[in-house]
Copies of this chain bind each other. A is one copy, B any other.
């Protein structure tokens, strides 16, 4: 006879791994769908490592130095990154840091070799302590960290390895040469695989992200107009079903990622429509202006949530100038986004900005006539605030368009 409680317990026990597996599969599928280049990158990674292992069979002489294969693998695993910029930056850092740290360590060992055994121990310890401590301290500098963090770690590592190695000085030079060569070959394989097989240009990504952020702002404004100036009562409840009202929120915390992308983009050679010294800093400026605009929008969105407490009648009295401001701002933003995407030169200042400014002026004159004469003052203040924030928003949009024009020229 079956014990139903026991069966149930078994079933729950068997259920848990199944749900975990299902969740895991879902996550994997989502990761791949969100950005199919991730799948390609994984293949590239595997391929680069197989390349090294095959190289070993075809040119065993190259790996005669025993553990050298390890250095090639280490280099590929640590250097090959998702984007070309990151890979080039790390490869450059690795080769330069290995070379300079190795040379410094060999020179210091030469000096130390003139003192006796005890002197050598003391000298080695002192130099390791000071070099490692100094470089570690340097890593705290945000500017150096952004570009050379990886190089500084490798510098400490190589310096310590060469300083503490047991080999004699002559052996050491040979080992160091071989190892530097292996690291250069490993870096070359990583860079070649990264650039030649479906390269991911982080500069292009930054470019696209900034352009799509501009569109996100425009989408919110369009959605805001539709929601705020309609006569339906269900605005607040249905708000969760409207993703365009939340899509801009990713902009609020995009500062760090944009800055990282700009640093990495600087390592990339000219590709597509990007020159070598593309003005990546200008993208950061545009990004900052977009974020300032997003903060305003965040303040605006509160009034959308509470719009059902303000009678539609009051909202409708400033509907026309507000709609004009929004429409012209949206057009200006979309045009800026197109200029950005196509990297076109803008023949003249964005005409929609001027229109938006005119609309703001006409909103001001409507406000001056006191459109809510006789209404409860408290009830109209939220509407007045929306009007005031929208007027303010035109400045932000103007700044974004100016920054885009500056980049285009």
**Contact surface of A with B, Cβ cutoff 8 Å:** 27-28, 31-32, 35, 38-39, 41-43, 45-47, 49-50, 52-54, 56-57, 63, 66-67, 69-70, 73-74, 77-78, 121, 124-125, 128-130, 132-134, 136-137, 140-141, 153, 156-157, 160-161, 163-166, 252-253, 255-257, 291-292, 295-296, 298-299, 302, 364, 367-370, 376-378, 381-382, 384-385, 387-389, 392
DSSP class of A's interface residues: helix, strand, loop or mixed? helix
Q: How far is the CB of A117 from chain B (nearest CB, A)?
A: 10
The interface residues of chain B lying within 8 Å CB-to-CB of A77 are 132, 153, 156-157, 160
Cβ-neighbour of A46 out of B38, B136, B364, B367 (below 8 A): B136
List chain B residues, Cβ under 8 A from A132.
Answer: 45-46, 49, 77
- The interface residues of chain B lying within 8 Å CB-to-CB of A381 are 367, 384, 387-388
Whether B50 pairs with A129 at a CB distance below 8 angstroms is yes
Chain B residue contacts of A368, Cβ below 8 A: 376-378
Bound Cα distance A389, B381 (Å): 10
* Oligomer: number of copies: 2
Q: Is the CB of B382 within 8 A of A377?
A: no
- CB-based contact A125/B78 at 8 Å: no
- Closest B residue to A80 using CB positions: B136
A-B contacts, 23 of them at CB < 8 A, read: A31-B141, A39-B137, A41-B137, A42-B137, A45-B132, A45-B136, A46-B133, A49-B156, A50-B125, A50-B129, A53-B125, A54-B125, A57-B121, A70-B161, A73-B157, A73-B161, A74-B157, A77-B132, A77-B153, A253-B253, A295-B298, A296-B299, A385-B385
Residues of B within 8 A of A302 (CB): 392
Evaluate contact between B160 and A73: CB separation under 8 angstroms.
Answer: yes
A67-B67, A74-B157, A381-B387 known; 20 other A-B pairs, CB under 8 Å? A45-B132, A46-B128, A49-B160, A50-B128, A52-B164, A53-B128, A57-B121, A69-B164, A69-B166, A73-B160, A77-B132, A77-B156, A78-B157, A252-B252, A299-B389, A364-B378, A367-B378, A368-B377, A370-B377, A385-B385
Q: Which residues of B contact A385 (CB under 8 A)?
A: 384-385, 388-389
Kindly state the separation between the CA atoms of A153 and B75 in the bound complex, as whole angstroms. 12
